Amino acid sequence: MRIVILAKLTACVLFAFCISGCGPDDKKSAETAKTPIKMWVAPNENEEAFWNTMVKEWNKDPAHTPVEFTPIPAASSSEEAIMNALASGTEPDISSNIFIGFASQLVEIGQLEDLSKMSGFNELVNNRQMGKIIPAWQLNGEQHVLPIYINPIVWWWRGDLLKQYGFDHVPTRYDELYQLAERRAADNNCYVIQMTAGKNWWERWFDFIPLYYAQNGGKPYLAGHQATFADPAGQAVLTFMGKVFNSKWSSYDFTAADDPLATGQVLASARGPWDIARYHKQYPEILKTLKIGPMLTEKGDAHPYTFGDSKGVVIFSSSKRKAQAWAFIQWVFNNAEHDRSWLELTGMPPARSDLMSNPLFVNYFEKNPLEKAIASYVDVALPPAATTQTTEIQRSMTQMLEQVIFNHADPAATLDKSAQEINTLLAK
């Protein structure tokens, strides 16, 4: 991070030197005014299709500063690609695909504009029905990211297989899952649920955290530079997860096999809406059997909190076209029709709280009931913690779960150890 800061400072000094040596130049100023706004977007076919449509429409108006978009350059992650660009001074004006933790890093090194200071910000929040959503995206009381979408993590259940075991509804309580697992075990089938998505740090967002949000009523797992998950809710969740794994009702690694939900290896899997398009292509018959259920809790809740895989758009502080870039963002997100197009193209719910009431979206969901069931949890889908140390924290929480799974460690003691590790990290 210090290298990045130094690189940027050096770039700024050199730029200032060039400017002072050249003097004012009206022609160059005019050329700068015509320079396109450069935007990076997620390297995803469906998202690129959306932005291609938006940019083409925007660029038709000669009064608009034109926009050019490209996918975020190839790297081990989008975050690495952006940091590399910042270090070399090749960053765009705008970028999408920014999660709150990465935004925290960028704010710490002074690379993001505070969008709440932009003209019309409050009007945009109101027009897009984001009043209840936007506070979760605050960083130090400022709004550096405008969330684009929220993907609630919910349980996808094989309704056809549930019926085989005497369930005419999706389980919502831990003890219901235990009952289901015991019935399935008696039929010589061990696995009942997929609880982990993979080994990458970002995949680990989808196991403990959604269950913790559900169990504790949406309270954060980090607050005030302190880990808060070593509490009764965290103990209940980790005890539940430990019992499931230690009873061999789940596997820690399904990644080498075919989709365990589609093949019937499990009856349920925690997923986001991004898998719907894949199921339409690969498993259309299985898709017809699916039922959406909430995150499991100890007592059961029809509409508990969960984790929201959420990304947003930012304007970099280095941009020379901040006002023009903001004008483009406003134009895109002040129009509900654009959010409808986003939903149709990507399958991911826009970050707005009127999805269940606005006729534009109600009409879409009438024809897409599975998407409707998932989108109904947008209002309770919370982003990850706003921290600059996301990967380190996720690593500690992964080790916490592994200790319980593989070493049968005491959940309470393991929670305390992980919380202490994270508190030490956050104190640096």
The helix or strand, by DSSP H or E, that contains position 414, with its residue range, turns out to be helix 411-427
The Cα–Cα gap between 401 and 406 comes to 9
Return per-residue pLDDT of the chain as tens, 428 residues.
Answer: 434 343 443 333 223 323 233 344 444 444 445 799 999 999 999 999 999 999 999 999 999 999 999 999 988 889 999 999 999 999 999 999 999 999 999 999 999 999 999 999 999 999 999 999 999 999 999 999 999 999 999 999 999 999 999 999 999 999 999 999 999 998 888 899 999 888 788 888 999 999 999 999 999 999 988 999 999 999 999 999 999 999 999 998 876 668 999 999 999 999 999 899 889 999 999 999 999 999 999 999 989 999 999 999 999 999 999 999 999 999 999 999 999 999 999 999 999 999 999 999 999 999 999 999 999 999 999 999 999 999 999 999 999 999 999 999 999 999 999 999 999 999 88
Query: Which listed CATH number (3.40.50.300, 3.30.70.2860, 3.40.190.10, 3.40.50.720) goes with 35-151+308-382?
Result: 3.40.190.10
What is residue 1's predicted lDDT score, i.e. its pLDDT? 40
The Cα–Cα gap between 256 and 349 comes to 29
What is residue 33's predicted lDDT score, i.e. its pLDDT? 53
The Cα–Cα gap between 105 and 388 comes to 5
Q: Where are the domains of the chain?
A: 35-151+308-382, 153-305+390-427
Equal fold, 35-151+308-382 vs 153-305+390-427: yes
The number of residues in the chain equals 428
Q: Which of 199, 217, 195, 220 is nearest to 208 (CA)?
A: 195
Q: Which fold has domain 153-305+390-427?
A: D-Maltodextrin-Binding Protein; domain 2 (3.40.190)
Tell the burial category of 272 from Cβ atoms under 10 Å away from its Cβ (0-12, 13-18, 19+). buried
Q: Where are the alpha helices (DSSP H) in 168-313?
A: 174-186, 208-216, 232-246, 275-282, 284-287
**Coil/strand/helix, residue 349:** coil
Q: Are 354 and 154 in contact (CB under 8 A)?
A: no
Say how far residue 388 (Cα) sits from the centre of its chain. Answer: 16
pTM of the entire predicted model? 0.88
CB-CB neighbours of 199 under 10 Å: 11
The Cα–Cα gap between 381 and 376 comes to 10
Contacting residues for 24 by C-beta, under 8 A, at least 6 apart: none
